[in-house]
Chain A
Amino acid sequence: MSSHSTAKALIPPYLLSAPALILYLAMLGVPMLLTFVLSFNAYDFNKGILPSYSLDNYIEIVTDSYFHEIFARTFGLALLVTVICALIGAPEAYILSRMRNPWRSFFLVVILGPLLISVIVRTLGWALLIGGSGVISSTLQSLGLIDEPFQLMFTFTGMTIALVHVLVPFMVIAVWASLQKLDPAVEDAGLSLGASQFTVLRRIVLPQVMPGVLSGSMIVFALTASAFATPAIIGGRRLKVVATTAYDEFLSTLNWPLGAAIAVVLLIANIVIIASYNRFIERKYAQVFG
């Protein structure tokens, strides 16, 4: 009787969450599953996708140095962008937390600004700035500071700059959150014990906001590793990353199974990196911050 009524009581919640659940499964779950299945299909340039299944696509990715280079570039880029974002974002958040209104609100909007603009528009903006005939290059040339056109388009540096620009807000927000938990008196306590301002920052403030820096890093790393629009526009075909490679396999080569396999490898690599990083953070800070 009671189990019957319990089961009955559970129906409305399930019904209520059903639309979202169905949408989620249909729009995300099914395509991902299909992609996963697709990645095992064989492919022939003349006949298209073959109905046979094998690990050939994965073997190709693992053995071909062409893919090694792309994966190395992607994770190298993700690491570099993450480090730069931490170096810029952490001090930025600290300075911001020390500001008073209205300046604080103003600069917060400025920092979050990049998130409000479409990624395509923003990246094309960077292209206009850093291209060979772009604003920076032509200004420097007309000032006589450089002779040759200054080209950052289709370079690793250009990609890094554009990605840091859009991802730094995530770092600022993460560090900002942990700065809010900081007791302002601990800095005074450090000073009163004879520490210099710099030592207070390094030994007292930084260790306490480190969890914020680390969780911000996780977000920035994951977003960079899977970024598509910015590498596609600024890196182009010359500097492929994993996401643009998968895109090209799907839309230019039409080798869907290989594209799917690349996407799956990227997803798994990302999950493994993020999950082990998260475990590391949790273990490190469990005792201190609870």
Chain B
Amino acid sequence: MSFLRMEGLVKKFGDFTAVERVDLSVEKGEFVSLLGPSGCGKTTTLQMIAGFVEPTEGRIIIDGRDITDVKANQRGLGIVFQSYALFPHMTVFDNVGFGLEMRGVAKDERRQRIEEALELVHLEPFAHRFPRELSGGQRQRVAVARALVIKPDVLLLDEPLSNLDAKLREDMQMELRSIQRTVGTTTILVTHDQTEAMAMSDRIAVMDQGRLVQVGVPLDAYEAPRTTFVSNFLGKTNTLRGTVASRAKGRMQVRVGEGMVDVRDVDPDLQGAISLSIRPEKLHFTSPADGRITGRVHTRLFLGNHWLFQVESPVGALLVTVENSGESVVEENQQIGLTWKPGEIRILPGNAADE
């Protein structure tokens, strides 16, 4: 029996359906991310778990207890807000202690638990500062300590890193993940940042237009996206829209733009319009004669750890990334061939993919 379950969660605001039938089960100690673009319903889902928004339909169950009708202040969840929402008129120490005070924890025990929580986030020396005397990253840690000190059943993180700069964000990702491992609290992260979600989570749940479109281990979702939306959202991808031209001996010829792509015939049900999707790092340069398709390098960008190429080809513009091995690979305007390993191209039904 899973620890946190959402069963058929629906939220409507007037005529607008923000969340449409979300079913999700989370195991105890698991770290799951709700990932999607803004307006996909991920934040509304989080707010329903937190108790700030009442679901129109559906149930939320934590540890076998139905909390759908329990008030937010009785749910015992830890929440880290996007703005951190620290209490500006209280010191770090009092901020962290507030939840314990509300639970009537005795003063001595409170002090001890606050100190433990501050130690966990490496903020012991800042206990007596006010929030405005701290940096963004430090405030973030206070918010985490404040949420964890009450030993919540579930920790909810609402875009917790979006206010930090890129460098700090990476550090905090690692740190949050290691804190979560240490305390073992079941965690739900809401984010629109796919790298963040993939880096931190045990599983990701991709949402689009109020629905869960794919739930899975980050690697699986990245390698085997179920729709073009997922494949586009989880990192860069080349989507080629085409039609099945002919098939023979387990192979399929797909017409894309002015060119033809030869792929494995994976599913005889695929007819008419389909989409091919391949990630930029799965495309490799060869000589024009050896390529499955040929093209010309239009632009080349050097990004430090890798090169990013835009290639013009009969099937359309393609993005290609090549790891930087210390030397230049191909030049701009060079005629090249492109190839890929069998099975690295994903074939998705054309119409279903656009949903």
Interface secondary structure of A, over-half rule: helix
Contact A208 B89 (CB under 8 A): yes
Chain A residues contacting B52 (CB-CB under 8 Å) are: 188, 191
A185 to B73, CA, bound (A): 14
The digit string for A181-224, where 1 denotes a CB below 8 A from any CB of B, is: 00101101111111111010001100110000000000000000
| Interface pair B132/A199, CB less than 8 Å apart | no
Contact A183 B89, beta carbon cutoff 8 Å: no
Is A101 close to B, CB under 8 A?
no
A-B pairs with beta carbons under 8 A, tally: 72
Segment at the interface with A among B24-32, B75-83, B114-122, B241-249: B75-83
Taking a contact as CB atoms closer than 8 A, the residue among B51, B79, B89 that contacts A189 in the complex is: B79
Cα(A15)–Cα(B203), bound, Å: 72
B219 interface residue per 8 A CB criterion: no
Contact between chains at A193 and B81 (CB < 8 Å): no
Known contacts A191-B72, A194-B76; A207/B89 CB under 8 A: yes
Interface stretch, picked from B97-105, B209-217, B312-320, is B97-105
Q: Would A288 and B89 count as touching, CB distance under 8 A?
A: yes
Chain A residue with the shortest CB-CB distance to B76: A194
Identify the closest chain B residue to A187 (Cβ).
Answer: B85
Chain A residues lying within 8 Å of B72, measured Cβ to Cβ, are 188, 191-192
Q: A164-178: which residues lie under 8 A (CB-CB) from chain B?
A: none
Contact partner of A193 (CB less than 8 A), chosen from B71, B82, B83, B98, is: B98
**Best-buried of A190, A193, A207 by chain B (most CB within 10 Å):** A193
Are A188 and B88 neighbours in the complex by a CB distance under 8 Å? no
- B73 A192 Cβ-Cβ under 8 A: yes
> When chains A and B are docked, how far (Å) is the Cα of A192 from the Cα of B147?
9
Name A192's closest neighbour in chain B (CB-CB): B79
Asked whether any CB of chain A lies closer than 8 Å to the CB of B3, the reply is no
Whether B229 is near chain A, meaning CB under 8 Å from some CB there, is: no
The answer to whether A195 and B88 have CB atoms under 8 Å apart is no
- Is there contact, CB below 8 Å, between A191 and B89? no
Task: Scan residues 39-93 of chain B and give those whose CB is less than 8 A from a CB of chain A.
Answer: 50-52, 71-79, 81-83, 85-89
B98 touches A195 (CB 8 A): yes
Q: List 22 A-B contacts (CB under 8 A).
A: A185-B81, A185-B82, A185-B83, A186-B86, A188-B52, A188-B81, A189-B87, A189-B146, A191-B52, A192-B50, A192-B51, A192-B73, A192-B75, A194-B73, A194-B99, A195-B73, A195-B98, A204-B87, A207-B89, A208-B87, A208-B89, A288-B132
